[in-house]
């Protein structure tokens, strides 16, 4: 008799299935003389999702996570309530992988302990908690599950470890691993890799290395690469080489990523010459370098100032069986620009286009930035205008150097005009763009325009930062508009921005110039109360204001305060005091002090002569 179970009857028949054996020569399974058709794993999944035993998202993870699929099919138990007597039965999924794909065979088992349904529900709850970021609650549930003798599913446990690692709670992640191991669940290499990666991100490299020795499964190349990357980034190349030796002794052979990590670190620490030896070792062991490996080497050659060798290496790459990509060209292009060889850079760009290597926005931005620094705005604009023809849309980093170039040449009208062009093309300025314009406007004395632009930033979807406010506050203070500057100070505080030494120094200097010395002194004490350390500019500004107000004694007190706080006086500090003493009618005393300071080397002789002429 042939037994065929349709999907829509799976719920009723699930718990009455008997153990069956797959016939190796057919697509059926046999029970005695009967045959039961093996339904596809997809049909089983649909039915189980329909009756609510397993969430669809969990099966999605089975299909996506190829490395885990085999283990999951072997370990995940699908439980259902029997319709007849209400007793709990289980079905195991086993995978049969052949050339045509995989199938799931559902088999029955004898009655299982009553707590298994709670275990199943607990694992589902754990999945949901982890998915929603409820790490603390998930941890408590995991502890209670193990106390009840339940075995947690390794997938949500791995996610829980990952969640704790992401927020820097590696001790909590370690405890999760310990609980999992104590529970009887078997962590796989992915679980260990997640924890080791968390250690490495938190700078706990020693914990990561110790974990290598206590893993219950063999580390894979990903495990070692994670540790090697952290060691190399920390400048511990020697220790990384020791780990590599351990890796090879254990029979885990390095891949191209392993060697690329080590080659990059060797370039930084020992030079390209040593890195080339590692490249030879890599190829001798049958590990073929990829474009990333060669990019690392070319970058190292460029940093050693051997640009011509890098250009030659770039040309030889096809002969090595590896085509250079846009990043390879960008490395050489940046090196050409940094050494002033912009004509070679333009030639390389043309060569890229000819060979069919499509430039990226970064490629064009490197060249635009360099040309603008050299004052070649016309060439920079030409390149920017050609970008769309090559499939690249200019971004704010493309426009910013050009705007900065116009501002540096005091061509504010052109800068504003190009800003409008930028916006009309759908490229919205960032805070760097606006900071550039605000700085130029303030330097040009157009502080009212700068204030107006600052007030429009929020409406333009751009939030001002500390440097934005500092720029305008400094501009207002320099043109005698400290009242407006103080209003901006209050505004930035309301927005949660904390004034720094540059904010206070601008205000103190502005108030001192306006003769509002007591207000300047008050701001000086405010900055100290806020925990901001005054610098020489701040002290000089306050002392200048006091000396102009013929309060030289107070200025000298500030000098004493300055020295006691470890802030070294500058030549300007002494010049201010000498002029202040002379301004109070004590010219002889001022000259005597000047001579003493000149002999001590605190004031240069050329400066002393100029100052003596004024006194």
Range name among 1-15, 182-196, 229-243, 289-303 with the lowest pLDDT average: 1-15
H/E stretch holding 559: helix 552-564
| Cα separation values, 598 from 104, 225, 243, 356, 609, Å | 93, 62, 61, 67, 10
pTM of the prediction?
0.69
Q: Are strands 28-31 and 21-22 parallel, antiparallel or unpaired?
A: antiparallel
The encoded tokens of residue 437 equal 């314009």
How far CA 545 is from CA of 371, 472, 474, 519, 549, in Å, comes to 44, 22, 17, 11, 6
**What is the distance of C-alpha 35 from the center of its chain?**
58
- For residue 468, pLDDT beyond 80: yes
Q: Which of 171, 134, 179 is nearest to 152 (CA)?
A: 179
pLDDT tens, residue by residue, 303-342: 999 999 999 999 999 999 999 999 999 999 999 999 999 8
- The enclosing H or E element of 22 equals strand 21-22
User: Which secondary structure element, helix H or strand E, spans residue 162, and what is its range?
Assistant: helix 154-166
Is the pLDDT confidence value at 285 over 50?
A: yes
Helices first, then strands: H and E counts in the chain: 33, 9
- Which residue, 279, 360, 354, 297, is CA-closest to 325? 360
- Of 64-68, 246-250, 490-494, which range is least confident? 64-68
Per DSSP, the three-state class of 104 is strand
Q: 115 pLDDT band (50/70/90 cuts)?
A: low
Q: Between these two residues, 87 and 204, which has the higher pLDDT value?
A: 204
Strands ordered across the beta sheet of 107-108: 77-81, 88-92, 107-108
Find, among 267, 371, 259, the residue nearest to 310 by Cα: 267
DSSP one-letter code for 534:
P
Which of 467, 473, 554, 536 is CA-nearest to residue 510?
A: 473
Q: Is 107 exposed, middle or buried (0-12, 13-18, 19+ CB in 10 A)?
A: middle
Question: In this structure, what are the phi and psi dihedrals at residue 30, rounded to the nearest 5 degrees?
Answer: -115, 140
| pLDDT for res 599 | 87
- Alpha-carbon distances of 154 from 96, 161, 191, 196, 210, rounded to whole Å: 22, 10, 8, 16, 22
Smallest Cα–Cα separation from 501: which of 451, 475, 477, 467? 467
pLDDT, position 20: 35
SS (H, E, C) 305-360: CCHHHHHHHHHHHHHHCCCCCHHHHHHHHHHHHHCCCHHHHHHHHHHHHHHCCCCC
Cα three-residue angle 230-232-238, rounded to 5 degrees: 120
- d(CA 547, CA 579) in angstroms, rounded, equals 8
Tokens of 398: 């493309």
Tell me the residue length of the chain. 615
* Confidence class for position 59, pLDDT limits 50, 70, 90: very low
| CA distances from residue 344 to 113, 323, 359 in whole angstroms, order as listed | 77, 21, 16
DSSP string, 91-102: EE--EEEETTEE
CB-CB contact of 332 with 310 (8 Å): yes
Of the candidate ranges 91-100, 128-137, 173-182, the one whose mean pLDDT is the lowest: 91-100
Quick check: 248 and 282 in contact, CB under 8 A?
A: no
User: Strand, coil or helix: what is 266?
Assistant: helix
pLDDT higher than threshold 70 for residue 78: no
Q: Which of these ranges, 64-78, 166-180, 370-384, has the smallest mean pLDDT?
A: 64-78
Residues forming beta bridges with residue 34, ordered by sequence position: 31
**β-strand 101-104 against 77-81: which pairing, if any?**
unpaired
Closest CA to 431 of 407, 405, 467: 467
Helix runs in 184-320, H state only: 189-201, 205-214, 221-233, 237-249, 256-269, 272-284, 291-303, 307-316
Question: Are 402 and 381 within 8 A, CB to CB?
Answer: yes
Pairwise CA distance, residues 133 & 344, whole Å:
53
Q: What is the mean pLDDT of residues 407-413?
A: 91
Longest dimension (CA), the chain: 125
pLDDT at position 24 over 70? no
pLDDT tens column, 207-248:
999 999 999 999 999 999 999 999 999 999 999 999 999 999
Q: What mean pLDDT is predicted for residues 435-457?
A: 93
Across 586-596, average pLDDT: 89
Paired residues of 102 in beta bridges = 97
Cβ count near 591 (within 10 Å): 17
Mean pLDDT rounded to a whole number for the chain: 83
| ∠ CA 147-149-150, rounded to 5° | 105
- pLDDT score, position 13: 36
The pLDDT, as a whole number, for residue 51 is 32
CA quadruple 306, 312, 315, 318: dihedral, nearest 10: -90
d(CA 460, CA 441): 19
End-to-end CA distance of the chain: 122
Query: Where does the pLDDT of residue 607 fall: very low under 50, low under 70, confident under 90, or very high at 90 and above?
Result: confident
Query: Does the pLDDT at position 496 exceed 60?
Result: yes
**Residue-wise burial string across 32-49, b where 16 or more C-beta atoms lie within 10 A, e elsewhere:** eeebbebbebeebbbbbe
Query: Residue 77 — very low, low, confident or very high, per pLDDT cuts 50/70/90?
Result: very low
d(CA 323, CA 290): 9
Cβ within 8 Å of residue 62, ≥6 positions away: 68, 69, 72, 73, 76
How is residue 446 annotated by DSSP? -
Using CA atoms, how far apart are residues 471 and 463, in angstroms rounded to an integer?
A: 15
The token pair at 358 is 């499509």
pLDDT number for residue 344: 94
Assess whether pLDDT exceeds 60 at residue 2: no
The whole-number pLDDT of residue 110 equals 40
Flag whether pLDDT at 561 surpasses 60.
yes
């Amino acid at each position: 008799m042939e037994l065929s179970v349709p999907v829509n009857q799976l719920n009723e028949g699930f718990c009455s299935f008997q153990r069956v054996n797959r016939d190796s020569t057919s697509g059926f399974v046999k029970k005695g003389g009967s045959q039961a058709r093996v339904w596809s794993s997809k049909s089983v999944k649909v039915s189980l999702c329909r009756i609510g035993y397993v969430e669809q998202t969990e099966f999605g993870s089975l299909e996506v996570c190829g490395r885990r699929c085999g283990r999951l099919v072997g370990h995940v138990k699908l439980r259902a309530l029997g319709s007849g007597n209400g007793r709990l039965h289980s079905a195991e999924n086993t995978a049969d992988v052949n050339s045509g794909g995989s199938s799931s065979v559902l088999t029955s088992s004898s009655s299982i302990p009553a707590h298994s349904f709670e275990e199943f529900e607990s694992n589902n709850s754990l999945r949901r908690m982890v998915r929603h970021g409820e790490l603390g609650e998930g941890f408590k549930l995991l502890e209670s599950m193990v106390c009840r003798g339940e075995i947690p599913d390794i997938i949500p446990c791995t996610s829980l470890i990952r969640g704790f690692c992401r927020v820097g709670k590696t001790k909590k992640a370690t405890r999760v691993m310990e609980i999992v191991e104590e529970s009887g669940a078997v962590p796989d290499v992915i679980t260990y890799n997640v924890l080791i990666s968390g250690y490495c991100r938190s700078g706990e490299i020693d914990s990561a290395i110790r974990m290598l020795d206590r893993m219950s499964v063999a580390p894979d190349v990903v495990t070692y690469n994670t540790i090697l990357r952290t060691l190399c980034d920390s400048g511990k190349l020697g220790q990384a080489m020791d780990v590599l030796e351990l890796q090879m002794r254990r029979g885990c052979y390095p891949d191209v990523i392993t060697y690329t990590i080590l080659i990059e670190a060797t370039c930084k620490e020992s030079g390209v010459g040593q890195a080339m030896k590692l490249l030879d070792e890599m190829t001798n062991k049958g590990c073929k370098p990829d474009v990333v490996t060669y990019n690392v080497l070319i970058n190292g050659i460029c940093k050693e100032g051997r640009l011509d060798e890098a250009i030659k290496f770039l040309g030889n790459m096809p002969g090595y069986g590896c085509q250079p990509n846009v990043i390879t060209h960008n490395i050489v292009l940046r090196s050409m620009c940094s050494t002033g060889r912009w004509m070679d850079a333009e030639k390389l760009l043309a060569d890229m286009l000819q060979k069919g290597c499509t430039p990226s926005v970064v490629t064009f931005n490197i060249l635009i930035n360099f040309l603008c620094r050299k004052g070649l705005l016309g060439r920079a604009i030409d390149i920017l205008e050609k970008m769309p023809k090559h499939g690249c849309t200019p971004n704010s980093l493309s426009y910013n150097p050009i705007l900065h170039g116009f501002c540096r040449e005091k061509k504010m009208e052109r800068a504003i005009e190009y800003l409008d062009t930028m916006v009309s093309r759908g490229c919205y300025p960032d805070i760097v763009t606006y900071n550039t314009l605000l700085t130029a406007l303030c330097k040009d004395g157009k502080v009212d325009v700068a204030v107006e632009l600052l007030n429009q930033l929020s409406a333009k979807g751009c939030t001002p930062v500390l440097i934005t406010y500092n720029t305008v506050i400094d501009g207002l203070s320099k043109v005698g508009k400290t009242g407006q500057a103080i209003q901006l100070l209050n505004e930035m505080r309301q927005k949660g921005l904390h004034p720094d030494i540059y904010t206070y120094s601008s205000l103190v200097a502005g108030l001192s110039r306006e003769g509002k010395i007591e207000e300047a002194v008050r701001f000086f004490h405010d900055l100290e109360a806020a925990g901001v350390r005054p610098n020489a500019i701040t002290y000089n500004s306050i002392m200048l204001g006091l000396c102009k107000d013929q309060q030289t004694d107070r200025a000298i007190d500030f000098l004493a305060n300055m020295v006691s706080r470890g802030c070294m006086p500058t030549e300007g500090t002494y010049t201010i005091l000498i002029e202040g003493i002379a301004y109070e009618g004590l010219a002889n005393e001022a000259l005597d002090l000047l001579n003493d300071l000149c002999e001590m080397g605190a004031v240069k002789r050329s400066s002393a002569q100029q100052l003596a002429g004024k006194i």
